């Protein structure tokens, strides 16, 4: 039989058969049915472009998997760039696990509306921060209304990207040297945000020195090869741990030798328990004598120098 029978014979009649030829696909639809969807999307993109016109460099920081210190590194890079005199802001795109507000010490600072949108709030060091962690208290999940119950998986990504688009279009970003975007984890998310943020956005990937994490990073690299976006390189986080008592960096993962992920290694950062505690409390990480912060400072300078060169 050619088609899909609906129910048992006699339930809706033997002739009630939905034939393949009767099913319209997305590509069969002409126009937008009067909904103005295409026009509205175009208007939103124009608003985003106008808001970001004063941003010289956009850098998205992504990871193939969670738990590699991506968000903390994003904040430390922003701090290092700021210490070098750059004007910097951070957009927290990890809607389900926003952490930039806490890292900035701004998790209880609400958004401030203006006559033309939303003001870019800055922390004590002058770094702009836009994070849903400022709006949604920790302990509460970020949720969206859904078209139908039990179908959140169908609409979730669409609603999340819509929310990010509205944030980009509403915030008064002003003149910035660098806008860092803290991405949600996952190779697929990295690819989606490459398309969403546009080819002007460069990427930095974060991993840890384990074969599992490196393997996932290579998936993100493969995904980004399908886009025109520039991949600056990857950072190997937690590359050893810093022992403050002996002032030495000791191994944290088994040595596996040099690994080629197909993109430049921008640097290796040791895990520093004290620095992690400072970051979690939202305190300033301006002290750069610690090995981890020295490594971050070198990586930030490398990123800035690369971005300043013609592509």
Write out pLDDT tens, residues 206-227. 999 888 888 888 999 999 999 9
Instruction: Report percent pLDDT > 70 for the chain.
Output: 84
Q: Which two tokens stand for residue 219?
A: 């998936």
Length of the chain: 311
Q: What is the mean pLDDT of the chain?
A: 84
Average pLDDT over residues 144-155: 71
Q: What is the CATH number of domain 29-308?
A: 3.40.50.300
**Residue 166, SS3 per DSSP:** helix
Instruction: Single out the residue of 73, 131, 75, 58 nearest to residue 98, CA to CA.
Output: 131
Distances from the Cα of 40 to the Cα of 35, 84, 146, 154, 225, angstroms:
9, 40, 21, 22, 30
| Whole-number Å distance between alpha carbons of 256 and 265 | 15
**Residue 62, SS3 per DSSP:** strand
Question: What are 54-95's pLDDT values in tens digits?
Answer: 999 999 999 988 889 999 999 999 999 999 999 999 999 998
- Structure-model confidence comparison of residues 138 and 118, the more confident one: 118
Instruction: Please tell me the pTM assigned to this model.
Output: 0.84
Residue with tokens 């944290």: 252
| Whole-number Å distance between alpha carbons of 206 and 184 | 12
Question: What are 259-299's pLDDT values in tens digits?
Answer: 678 899 999 999 888 888 777 777 776 655 688 889 999 99
pLDDT reported for residue 307? 96
**Residue 175, SS3 per DSSP:** coil
pLDDT reported for residue 75? 95
| Whole-number Å distance between alpha carbons of 286 and 213 | 29
- Residue 12's pLDDT band, with cuts at 50, 70 and 90, is very low
Instruction: Report percent pLDDT > 90 for the chain.
Output: 50
| Sequence ranges of the domains in the chain | 29-308
| Whole-number Å distance between alpha carbons of 54 and 38 | 26
Q: Supply the angle between the helices 291-308 and 70-83 in degrees, to the nearest 10.
A: 70
Average pLDDT over residues 32-49: 78
- With a cut of 80, say whether residue 311 has pLDDT above it: no
Residue with tokens 């690299």: 221
């Amino acid at each position: 039989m050619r088609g899909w029978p609906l129910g048992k014979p006699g339930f809706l009649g033997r002739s009630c058969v939905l034939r393949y030829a009767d099913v319209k696909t997305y590509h069969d639809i002409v126009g937008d049915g009067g909904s103005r969807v295409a026009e509205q999307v175009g208007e939103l993109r124009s608003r985003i472009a106008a808001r970001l016109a004063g941003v010289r460099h956009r850098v998205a920081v992504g990871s193939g998997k969670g738990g590699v210190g991506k968000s903390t590194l994003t904040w430390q890079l922003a701090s290092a760039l700021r210490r070098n005199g750059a004007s910097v802001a951070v957009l927290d795109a990890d809607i389900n696990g926003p952490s930039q507000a806490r890292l900035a010490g701004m998790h209880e600072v609400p958004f401030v509306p203006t006559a033309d949108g939303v003001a870019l709030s800055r922390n004590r060091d002058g770094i702009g921060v836009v994070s849903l962690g400022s709006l949604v208290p920790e302990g509460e999940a970020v949720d969206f209304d859904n078209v139908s119950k039990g179908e959140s998986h169908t609409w979730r990504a669409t609603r999340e990207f819509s929310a990010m688009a509205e944030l980009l279009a509403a915030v008064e970003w002003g003149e910035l040297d660098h806008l860092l975007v803290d991405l949600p984890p996952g190779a697929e998310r990295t690819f989606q945000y490459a398309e969403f943020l546009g080819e002007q956005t460069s990427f930095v990937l974060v991993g840890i020195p384990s074969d599992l994490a490196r393997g996932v990073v290579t998936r993100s690299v493969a995904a980004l090869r399908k886009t025109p976006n520039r991949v600056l390189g990857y950072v190997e986080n937690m590359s050893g741990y810093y022992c403050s008592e002996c002032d030495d960096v000791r191994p944290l993962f088994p040595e596996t030798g040099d690994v080629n992920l197909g993109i430049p290694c921008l640097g290796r950062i040791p895990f520093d328990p004290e620095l992690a505690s400072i970051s979690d409390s939202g305190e300033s990480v301006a002290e750069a004598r610690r090995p981890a912060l020295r490594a971050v400072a070198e990586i930030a300078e490398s990123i800035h120098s690369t971005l300043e060169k013609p592509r």
